[in-house]
Amino acid sequence: MNSSAIKLVAFDVAGTTVNDDGLVIAAFKAAFEKSQPELWPEKGEIWTQYAIDTMGQSKIHVFTELLGDIELAKAANVAFEEAYMNEVAEQGISPITGTLETFAALKERGIAIALSTGFSRSTLDPMLFELGWLGLIDASVTPEEAGRGRPHPDMLNFLANKLNIQTPESVMVVGDTAADMQSGVAYGAAQVIGVLSGAHKEADLHAAGATSIINSVADLSSLF
């Protein structure tokens, strides 16, 4: 594996660089319950499983798939974001152990650091502010800013353009979900690294095209 050519590492947020601890799924449940109180008792289990399976994809897209209507999806997404920020306010938000050290090691090598996510900007920015990462990372992107969310490669294209990265062969993608891996493969990233600190298991990440699996971002330096 040739890691010396890597110029950009594009990390996922929840479950990859930021501790999740079930907050995202709890927020999904709260959003369904609030926006679809009649259907929730009947559909709750199926919807929750779908939210788990599609973790990493654009949240608004997942709601649209489930509810079959963009306006209903927007209402559910607002409820999701409120619930998630409430959970974050209650429980706090913290980096996955080793993230800051990994960022520092990449910076030292002159490698750009970017974040992509399934959240909207109105959720991501307060998180980055809370973490103190706004000045630390080189770029971040959300699905609506790039066009489509994962498993499409749009967010990776957006980041590469923004940071003047000429070829996908200079890019490493790191994430905790199958959708993260699929987007990296679709983009043509040199390396697509799965981490086991988040939503999906090793077999799912492999099946989705991971080129390597590590326990967490703390182990990323072992690939350089």
The nearest distance, CB 222 to Mg ion, in angstroms, is 21
Interface contacts to Mg ion, rule CB under 5 A: 12, 14-15, 176, 198
Nearest residue to Mg ion by CB is 15
Tell whether omega for the bond before 143 is within 30 degrees of 0, i.e. cis: no
- Nearest approach in angstroms of CB 16 to Mg ion is 5
92 torsion bin: left (phi>0), alpha (psi -120 to 50), beta (else): left
> Minimum Å distance from CB 175 to Mg ion?
6
- Which residue, among 79, 116, 100, 106, has the nearest Cα to 3 in the 3D structure? 106
Q: Which is nearer to Mg ion, 12 or 81 (CB)?
A: 12
* Closest CB 192 distance from Mg ion, rounded Å: 14
> Judging by beta carbons within 10 Å of its beta carbon (0-12, 13-18, 19+), is residue 221 exposed, middle or buried?
middle
Distance CA 171, CA 21 (A): 28
Q: Cβ closer to Mg ion: 83 or 96?
A: 96
Instruction: Please identify, using beta-carbon distances, which residue of 20 and 29 lies nearer to Mg ion.
Output: 20
The CA distance from 221 to 218, in Å, is 7
Instruction: Tell me whether residue 36 or residue 182 sits nearer to Mg ion (CB atom).
Output: 182
